[in-house]
Amino acid sequence: MATFIPPTDLLHNFADFDIEIPFTEEQRLAYNLLRHFQANPRGRNIYKLSDGTYVDNEPSDMSTIVITYHGGHEHEVSADEASSLTAAGYGSYIS
C-alpha cells in the first residue's frame, strides 16, 4: 500500500481577516500580535470525481465526488489509485 499526503501551501496567515470593518481595541491588539507570525502550512483537499479526474477545488455538485483526500492527513491508497494519482500530477506526494 502506498501513502498519499495531499499538497500543502503556506497560505494560512493568522492575521487574515476582514480589515474593512472598524476594529475594537481588543481586535486591534490581536491583529498587531498576529501580523508578526509567519504563515502556516495549510493542506489542500483533493477530490476524485465520478468521471475519474482529480481536482483540488471543491466542485459545486457534491454528488460528483467519489473520494475526498483531506489535506494535512496521510491516506493509504492501493496501487491502482496511486497510479491514477500519479497520472493526474500528484505522484510527488505519494510515498
Please state, in angstroms and rounded to a whole number, the distance separating the CA atoms of residues 66 and 6: 16
Give the SS3 label for residue 29: helix
List the domain range (segments joined by +) for residue 74: 2-93
Distances (CA, A) of 81 to 10, 26, 42, 60, 66: 27, 49, 24, 24, 12
- Range name among 31-40, 58-67, 76-85 with the lowest pLDDT average: 31-40
Name the residue with cell 510527488.
92
In this predicted structure, what is the pLDDT of residue 15? 61
Tens of pLDDT, residues 9-47: 877 666 665 556 667 778 777 777 777 777 778 889 999
Helix (H) or strand (E) holding 81: helix 79-85
Is the pTM above the cut of 0.75?
Answer: no
Number of domains in the chain: 1
